[in-house]
Amino acid sequence: MEVQIAVAKVNKYATSESGDTLEIVERPNGGLSVVLADGQTSGRGAKAISQMVVRRVIGLLAEGVRDGAAARAASDALFTERQGKVICTLNIASVDLHSRTIVLTRNNPAPVFICRHDRIDAISDESIPLGTSRNVRPLITELAIEPGLFIAIYTDGLTHAGARRGNPMDVSSVVRSVIEDQDPSPQLLADTLLAHAVRLDENRPADDISVLILKVTPRDGDNVRRMTLRLPLDGIRA
Amino acid sequence: MEVQIAVAKVNKYATSESGDTLEIVERPNGGLSVVLADGQTSGRGAKAISQMVVRRVIGLLAEGVRDGAAARAASDALFTERQGKVICTLNIASVDLHSRTIVLTRNNPAPVFICRHDRIDAISDESIPLGTSRNVRPLITELAIEPGLFIAIYTDGLTHAGARRGNPMDVSSVVRSVIEDQDPSPQLLADTLLAHAVRLDENRPADDISVLILKVTPRDGDNVRRMTLRLPLDGIRA
């Protein structure tokens, strides 16, 4: 099998810094974790918050701390520093080769979509961002790694797209339309969701938007890990 | 313009952990850094060393410390901990949006290839791994971000491929053959270099191998950052 991960990420219109931070860390017992945080408001202040949260979570995961404990620690640190005045959403998606599961940790009102065999489930239980109080609990979902699994995670810029113009985003129906295709790549799903949201915002995203997709495929090829990253250089023209 | 980054990475034959660690961090003043370390020997011990070095370097870069200073700090820490008995190579490739340059930091005897307008230069000045003494200096190369730039960085598993069988790898000629193609993707160059090395090792890599490619393209499309990652699950079969 192979786990494929795709990310598509765009800044709020006319801001040079995204309040969303996404980073990846190798787990010391095998596998990796993707950590996505969205700091309150946008621009430089939000970036500092989401970077602080991601740094802390990644540092703990790298030491072997479990995902839920890392999320709680980041929340406590943020609450202590800002006394509940600044909050930050957090999603962790871990491919844990030790337990052979995918572990999803969520402190984010935005739901997570899980697709298996043409069935799409939204995990939408109430979930509170980090830094809101002393006792913030993450919601944890653990899934066996099996071919055909598709997971969609995103920051609230996606859900809020178009809302101001009275034409809100229906994430579920976009996910369904892509999943029903012939074996879509995770990048196609990430790009389609993002493009749909940007269109609803009339090409001027009202907020930072990040989309993270995981897919498990039955592919049994070489044992090469591969990564590709594309970084558009806004303002540095050819 | 757009910077594209590709990685291909394989473990030494019959080992479940790579002594090579590669991670990416966002730079606080814009841009990102890719950090690649190769710990001495292979397996779990080497992994612990390269992870420690990468963690430390990434933590410092995230705080705004310059690349060279981060490399020196990691070297001093490793030397203090292991008294010169364990060494680790390090490469940092930074896309620095503040200085509008690509900054390459090297503590690795393996050269770095830089290709511009059909010209291929090997940066092969003597460079010493981290942890060897108290005064390890990184070699720094700074390049303007310009379309057509191609950079190839790798761990010594690539250079040593085939050596034991008297059929050593000629990295330069593989780079040349790919670069002369019509606008090759960085993933194609990474995959071709890795596949060539694995073939020379008769499909049983004698060492962990990591290849990191950067490419600057004139592409002026949307402002979406994209990332794709593929993680084969050795031993977890469909």
Nearest CA in chain A to B10: A224
For A203, name the nearest residue in chain B, comparing CA atoms only.
B222
- Provide the whole-model pTM: 0.93
Q: Which of A8, A21, A232 sits opposite B26 (nearest CB)?
A: A21
Cα dihedral B130, B135, B136, B140 sign:
positive
State which amino acid sits at residue A6.
Answer: A
Query: pLDDT: is B44 or A223 the higher one?
Result: A223
Closest CA to A102 of A90, A115, A111: A115
Chain A residues in contact with B201 (beta carbon < 8 A): none
CA distance A154 to chain B (A): 14
**The Cα angle at residue B111 between residues B208 and A230, in degrees rounded to 5:** 75
Average pLDDT over residues B155-167: 88
Q: Above 50 in pLDDT, residue B238?
A: no
Assess A95–B contact: CB distance below 8 Å, yes or no.
yes
pLDDT at B213 over 90: yes
Residue of chain B whose alpha carbon sits nearest to that of A229: B227
For the stretch A20-39, pLDDT in tens is 999 999 998 889 999 999 99
* Cβ–Cβ < 8 Å for B58, B23: yes
3-state class percentages of chain A: helix first, strand second, coil last, to nearest 5: 30, 35, 40
Q: Which pLDDT band holds residue B15 (cuts at 50, 70, 90)?
A: confident
Give the integer Cα–Cα distance in Å for B8 and B91: 15
Residues in B touching A17 (Cβ below 8 Å): 30
Q: Each residue of B53-100: pLDDT tens digit?
A: 999 999 999 999 999 999 999 999 999 999 999 999 999 999 998 899
Alpha helices for chain A (secondary structure H): 43-62, 67-82, 156-160, 171-179, 186-200
DSSP three-state, residue A18: coil
The chain B residue lying nearest A21, using CA atoms, is B26
Contact B230 A226 (CB under 8 A): yes
- The secondary element (H helix, E strand) that includes residue A38 is strand A31-39
Whether residue A55 and residue B59 make contact (CB cut-off 8 A), yes or no, is yes
Distance CA A176, CA A118 (A): 8
Contact A161, A200 (CB under 8 A): yes
Sign of CA dihedral B24, A190, A89, A106: negative
Report residue B171: phi and psi, to 5°: -60, -45
Question: Worst-scoring range by mean pLDDT, A35-49, A145-159, B103-117, B150-164?
Answer: A35-49
Residue A237: the pLDDT is 43
Q: Using pLDDT thresholds of 50, 70 and 90, give the confidence band for residue B30.
A: confident
Per the CB < 8 A criterion, the answer to whether A11 and B223 are in contact is yes
- Using the 8-state DSSP alphabet, how is residue A148 labeled? T
Q: Do A16 and B1 touch (CB under 8 A)?
A: no
Give the closest-approach CA distance of B126 to chain A in angstroms.
29
Query: From the candidates A154, A224, A236, which should be mutated to test the interface with B, based on the most B CB atoms within 10 A?
Result: A224
Assess whether pLDDT exceeds 60 at residue B236.
no
Instruction: Check whether B210 has a pLDDT greater than 90.
Output: yes
Minimal CA separation from B39 to chain A, in Å: 15
| Range B157-171 average pLDDT | 88
3-state secondary structure of A188: helix
Decide if B226 and A32 are in contact by the 8 Å CB cutoff.
Answer: no
What pLDDT shows up at residue B237? 43
Give the Cα separation of A96 and A137 in Å (integer).
Answer: 21
Check CB contact of A1 with chain B, cutoff 8 Å.
yes
Determine the pLDDT at residue A238.
38
Per-residue pLDDT of chain A (238 residues; tens, 9 = 90+): 999 999 999 988 888 778 899 999 999 888 999 999 999 877 788 889 999 999 999 999 999 999 999 999 999 999 999 999 999 999 999 999 889 999 999 999 999 999 998 799 999 999 999 999 998 999 999 999 999 999 999 999 999 888 888 888 999 999 999 998 888 999 999 999 999 999 999 889 988 999 999 999 998 778 899 999 999 987 554 3
